[in-house]
Structure formats: structure tokens, C-alpha cells
Amino acid sequence: MKLSAASPFAPSDAALRARKPGILAFMSEVFRDWRLALAGVSPKATTPTRSAPDRAKQGAIALVGAGPGARDLLTLRAAQRLSQADIVFYDRLVDPEVLELARSEAELVYVGKAVGACAWPQERIDAVIVAAALQGKRVVRLKSGDPCMFGRATEELAAARANGIPVEIVPGVTAASAAGAALGRSLTERGATDRVVFATGMCRAGDDTPDWGASTRPGTTLALYMGVRQAPVIEANLIAAGVPAASEVEIVSDISTDRQRIATCQLGALAATIRSEKIGNPAIILIRHDKGVACLGGTGELQSRDVGKAGKAPLVADF
């Protein structure tokens, strides 16, 4: 197996020829690290220091998705980029165990942003990743979830390209997919929901409030990112747009971590449930506008085909 020559992180042909046995050895090392981590042993304590990667004269940037939380949901390519990076700029929601996959010589720089407390505005992040790449470093910009899903990838891609820096995107498992897995339930169900809409519950200061109801026709699962604080507005907007108050809602917070929580309710109780259960971010809200749901006589009674209730903990295969 050979790395794509299109990747800015791809080593030279000479380095590839010298690498024995190549990518299979790397995969073996990654899986070994995961097994050690599961056993409570730090991979860095037993893994020999990796030599610096064979590097082209010019630096490069990889926007890498760290997935929803758990380290073993990282892709092999993401783990590979971490093992090659000279410097890693990582977000607030990246699990510390993911950072253990960076080579020991790599510099780790926290550039996290929290609502209402932003020490790292986007322009500053753009500037530091570009500056590092212009110094000839291999830069990993590590983002929770998928870089292209509400991850400010557009700004960072533009900054890299404006400075002539090679840049690539390494996709990650996005929160909506991970939520479906946590629930043991598909995001789409034949005869009930035949499309998924990804939307954000947040907007920039000065922007109009998103009209979530405009894209939520019967048969839609609406996956709302960063929507916890806007729950009352979201609830009112959707019901006003004709989404039944009895529609199923599933809220998953801290997905795939030992702090994971799942709450279920009907749309008409979304804000009250978040308040009573004290649910905070990071969380994703799934609202299922089932084709078979009807509000009868204004009572909010749920009438739908039996597709299984996500509130019940699914049986999980023990591998």
C-alpha cells in the first residue's frame, strides 16, 4: 500500500522504499497503542521515540477530524497524521487520549474556544497554523468531530491556500453518526424518515436566527449541533412550522465518552427536558419528524409505527 502522492504529508519515494514493512507496521503500532490504552498503560511509556518524519522543504497543514470523543473512533489516517506532525493545534473537545497518538517530539498547542470565553478567535488560529507551516513544519489542526461539519474548515483552508501552503482534510466521525450508534438506532428508518438534515443551533452575532422548520418536512431527521442553549427557540420555531409537538427527540451529550448521557422526550418538551436534566454542551439533538406521527385533538398524543424507543439502553455486542 502506498500513500497518495496528492497528500502534502506523503513522504518522498526514497522514504517509501526505505520503509519496511510500511503502512502495515504503522497500523500494527496504532492498534497496539489502543490495546495498551485500554489496559491503562500509556503508549508513550512503552513506545520508542519516533524519528522525525522525512519532510519536504515546504510545510503542510492537515485539518484532522478527531471524531466525537473516544480515541478508538479515530480513523487510521488521522492517527497517521498525528504520528507525522511536528506541531498539533487542538480544540477544546479533543480527548486527551487522542493526543497520546502524536509523536513524542511534537509540540501540542491548545487553541480551544468556549462560548462566551474565546481566547483564540478564528483569525488568530488561522495566523498561527499558517506561520508554523511557513517555517517548514507539518501542522495538524485537530478538530473534534469532522472538520467540514461546523468546524470552521473554510476559513483555515482559505488561509492556507492564500499563502501557497499544501493543505488536506482528514474526515472524522461526526456527532450525528456517533449519536445514532450510541442510541443503537439508525438516523433514517424506512417508511418513517428518509432524509437527514444537519443544522446548527448557533449563529454569529448579527445573523438572523436560523429557520429550522423550513427544511423539516415529514420524513426528516433533524440533527442539531450546538443547540442546547437555543432549545426554547428551536422548539417554538419547529412547532410553528408544523412539526408535531409529539415528534420524537433524542439528546446525546458527551458522545462515546464515559460521561455520555442520553435523554428522550417529545418536541413539545425539548426545552423543559434539557432544563430538568441539566444537559449541557457538547450535545447533539435529533428530532424525528416521522411520516407516521400525528398530534390528535391537540393533546400531543404520539401515534407512530413501532420503530423501537431509543430511551431503552440497547444491547451492545461485547468484542
Please report, to the nearest 10 degrees, the dihedral formed by the alpha carbons of residues 265, 271, 277, 283 taken in order: 90
Least Cα distance to 88 among 112, 110, 55 occurs for: 110
Where is the domain boundary, 107, 138, 172? 172
Where is the domain boundary, 152, 172, 192? 172
- Is the domain of 96 the same as that of 217? no
CATH number of the domain that residue 224 is part of: 3.30.950.10
Establish whether 86 is a catalytic residue: no
Least Cα distance to 290 among 197, 212, 192 occurs for: 192
Whether residue 309 is contained in a domain is answered as no
Specify whether the CB–CB gap between 274 and 224 falls below 8 A.
no
pLDDT at residue 32, as a whole number: 58
Whether residue 135 is contained in a domain is answered as yes
pLDDT at residue 295, as a whole number: 40
Catalytic residue among 33, 91, 126, 254: 91
Establish whether 113 is a catalytic residue: yes
Whether residue 203 is contained in a domain is answered as yes
- Is the domain of 140 the same as that of 220? no
Q: Which domain holds residue 208?
A: 176-289
Q: Rounded to a whole number, what is the distance in angstroms from the first to the last CA of the chain?
A: 28
Catalytic residue among 44, 54, 72, 113: 113
Kindly give, in sequence order, each residue whose CB lies less than 8 Å from that of residue 196, ignoring residues fewer than 6 positions away. 176, 187, 188, 220, 221, 222, 223
- Is the domain of 257 the same as that of 185? yes
CATH number of the domain that residue 50 is part of: 3.40.1010.10
Domain total of the chain: 2
pTM (global) more than 0.75? yes
pLDDT at residue 311, as a whole number: 45
pLDDT at residue 210, as a whole number: 81
Look over the chain and give the mean of its residue pLDDT values, rounded to a whole number.
82
Please tell me the distance from the alpha carbon of residue 147 to that of residue 139, in angstroms, as a whole number.
15
Where is the domain boundary, 128, 157, 172? 172
- Is the domain of 163 the same as that of 234? no
pLDDT at residue 52, as a whole number: 46
Low-confidence residues of the chain, pLDDT below 70?
1-8, 10-57, 114-118, 205-206, 294-316
Whether residue 117 is contained in a domain is answered as yes
